[in-house]
Amino acid sequence: MAEITRSQIGFKEDSFDSWDTGVRKGMLHRKVVLPNNPKFPLSPVQFLDESRRDKRWFKHNNYPKLALELILEGAVEFRMEDKSHIASAGDCSVIVPGTTVTMVNSGTQWRRKLCLIIDGMALEALLSAFGFCSFCIVKVPEPEKLVKMFDEIAQMMESSGNSTVELSSAVYRLLGELSCYVMQENNLSSMQKVVKFMEGNLHRSIDMKELIAIAGCSEASLRRWFYREFKLAPFVFLKEMRLRRGVELLKSKNNISTKMLSYECGFASVPSFIKAFREHYGVTPGNWRKKNVNL
């Protein structure tokens, strides 16, 4: 039977934590606790660095604060009412106020995490501004950087010489960093949609307006991403995709005409297709087929 305990730090009547009463194997590396300061927008109230190796679950019921959990080793399962999420090393879970989630530790592997609990006068409004409106798991490309930010906040919490303003500012920076990672993930997903759109529409004319609408960003941002990923402008990349498509068709369809090739690859005319093909491969489509007929 699970034991249920009411919080001693200001949980609402319908908010509580419950956990499995089974044997727990754990190691507490560091713990810092501060009283909440209701006068400030963001107020860190607890920092925890711990390792666990057990078969246990721990549940937040309508959790009223913000919990940031950075996984350093192993993995943790976060079970929601409608789905389940796995956070592994380098992932940071963002548990926003009002969340009900069960955290499951199972198996024999050690799991280590850093956990920061945050409260504050304007917590929910600021989370909305940063783009954290519901539970999410953020992929962190540079975990060491985030570890330093967590550690900086913990040190400030331990030092009586630091003001609450400085602490709030440090939390702002941490949330801003996490928000940037989320934006990068979203941008990557959007740009991948652009590439897939190109792949599915090689046979027809595509303009820049369509691409930026799919990407959901400015033309300048779209161009920067293509240069960073492929060292090519978007439409140079598109032309190379069309020419590769032409080679695939030459290999798979021995009797395909040059006119049909140019149409399938999205070129405006046969001469423009032949010219682009020769510039890229050094020979015309017909000569390429003769030289590569057995490939």
- Would residue 164 count as lying in a domain? yes
- Asked if residue 46 belongs to a domain, the reply is yes
- Average pLDDT, whole number, for the chain? 86
Least confident of 51-55, 72-76, 110-114, 284-288: 51-55
Same-domain pairing of 79 and 213: no
107 and 206, same domain (yes or no): no
In a domain, 230, yes or no: yes
What is the 3-class SS of the chain, one letter each residue? CCEEECCCCCCCCCCEEEECCCCCCEEEEEEEECCCCCCCCCEEEEEEEEEECCCEEEEEEEECCEEEEEEEECEEEEECCCCEEEEECCEEEEECCCEEEEEEECCCCCEEEEEEEEECCCHHHHHHHHCCCCCEEEECCCHHHHHHHHHHHHHHHHCCCCCHHHHHHHHHHHHHHHHHHHHHHHHHHHHHHHHHHHHHCCCCCCCHHHHHHHHCCCHHHHHHHHHHHHCCCHHHHHHHHHHHHHHHHHHHCCCCCHHHHHHHCCCCCHHHHHHHHHHHHCCCHHHHHHHCCCC
Residue type, 192: Q
In a domain, 168, yes or no: yes
Same domain, 155 and 282: no
Q: Are residues 152 and 221 in the same domain?
A: no
- Would 196 be classed as within a structural domain? no
- Does residue 246 sit within a domain? yes
Number of domains in the chain: 2
- What pLDDT score does 140 carry? 92
Specify if 195 maps to a domain.
Answer: no
- Give the integer Cα–Cα distance in Å for 188 and 185: 5
**Which of the listed residues 185, 220, 239 is the one where a domain comes to its end?**
185
- 81-91 pLDDT, tens digit per residue, is 878 888 989 99
Residues of the chain with pLDDT > 90, as a percent, come to: 43
The dihedral formed by the CA atoms of 216, 96, 37 and 157, expressed in degrees to the nearest 10: -90
- Does residue 102 register a pLDDT over 60? yes
Residues 229 and 176 reside in one and the same domain: no
Q: Give the tens place of pLDDT for each residue, 219-271.
A: 888 898 898 889 999 999 999 999 999 999 988 887 889 999 999 899 989 99
Does 59 map to a domain? yes
Mean pLDDT of 6-25: 68
CATH number for position 66? 2.60.120.10
For residues 21 and 161, membership in a common domain is answered with yes
**Claim to verify: residue 172 and residue 216 sit in the same structural domain:** no
Domain match, 108 and 207 both: no
Higher confidence at residue 200 or residue 164? 200
Residue-number span of the structural domain to which 218 is assigned: 202-295
In the predicted model, is pLDDT for residue 172 greater than 80? yes
* 137-168 residue pLDDT tens: 998 988 999 999 999 999 999 986 556 788 88
Both 181 and 206 in one domain: the answer is no
Which residue is it, tokens 């975990």? Answer: 143
User: What pLDDT is attached to residue 83?
Assistant: 83
Residues 150 and 33 both lie in one domain = yes
Indicate whether this model's pTM tops 0.85.
no
Sign of CA dihedral 179, 180, 186, 190: positive
Are 213 and 148 found together in one domain? no
Contact 69, 113 (CB under 8 A): yes
Residue 207's CATH number: 1.10.10.60
Query: Residue 131: what pLDDT?
Result: 84
Q: How confident is the model at residue 161, as a pLDDT?
A: 58
Q: Are residues 59 and 145 in the same domain?
A: yes
* pLDDT single digits (tens) 109-131: 889 999 999 998 888 888 888 88
Rounded CA separation 143/197 (Å)? 33
Residue where a domain stops, chosen among 119, 151, 185: 185
